Every structure is written in C-alpha cells, then in structure tokens.
C-alpha cells in the first residue's frame, strides 16, 4: 500500500499592487503577481465595489500568476482604493485621478 501525500504550498503575493496617479482620460493599470497558479476566487474591487471585465475595466490573467486590472478612460470619481483578492490573499493600492487644470 503506497500513500502519496503532498501538501499544496499556499500561494503568496510575490509583487503587490502599487499606488498609481493618472490624469483624467488616461488608463490606470494595476498588477499583482502570485507565487503560483491555481488560486480560486480571484476578484478585483474599487472602493468596495466588485469590478467586472468590460470595455472600461479590463481584467486579465497570465499563466494563472500575473493578474492585471486596467481601468480605461478614468474620471475623477474613479479615485479610490483598488483591491485584489485571491482566496485569502489581499493586496490594495490607491488610485488618484488628477484633473487637468486649465489655469497655468
């Protein structure tokens, strides 16, 4: 009788989200890298509201480890806290959208 036992190492965040400043109308990109693929329940949030993949919000994943969120054509009201969750792992960063001043 051969028992094969292995413990799946818990994934960790290798590289978390970084605070990002952009101007109105630009795109803001956030990237979070995990130590290995297969983490369930991956979700992005902006100020507590879940984000979904659409033409303004692009959510992508590369090799199951590099998770990217791009917010296109941002407005001032998009400023807030971006949060990435993957199972028990959480990384957050601030998004600051700056208006363009016409007063020079």
pTM higher than 0.85: yes
Q: Does residue 71 sit within a domain?
A: yes
Q: How confident is the model at residue 102 (pLDDT cuts 50, 70, 90)?
A: low
Quick one: average pLDDT of 23-39? Answer: 95
Q: Does residue 13 sit within a domain?
A: no
Question: Which of 59, 62, 85 has the alpha carbon at shortest distance from 71?
Answer: 59
Q: Does residue 32 sit within a domain?
A: yes
Q: Does residue 11 sit within a domain?
A: no
Q: How confident is the model at residue 76 (pLDDT cuts 50, 70, 90)?
A: very high
Range of the domain at 27: 20-98
Q: Does residue 3 sit within a domain?
A: no
Query: In the chain, how many domains are there?
Result: 1
- CATH code where residue 35 lies: 2.60.40.10
Q: Does residue 8 sit within a domain?
A: no
């Amino acid at each position: 009788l051969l028992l094969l036992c292995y413990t799946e190492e818990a994934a960790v965040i290798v590289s978390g989200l970084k605070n990002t400043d952009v101007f109105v109308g630009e795109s803001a990109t956030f990237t979070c890298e995990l130590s290995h693929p297969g983490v369930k329940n991956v979700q992005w949030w902006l100020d507590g509201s879940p984000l979904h993949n659409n033409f303004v919000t692009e959510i992508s994943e590369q090799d199951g480890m590099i998770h990217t969120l791009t917010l296109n054509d941002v407005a001032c009201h998009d400023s807030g806290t971006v949060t990435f969750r993957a199972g028990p792992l959480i990384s957050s960063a601030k998004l600051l959208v700056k208006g363009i001043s016409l007063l020079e």
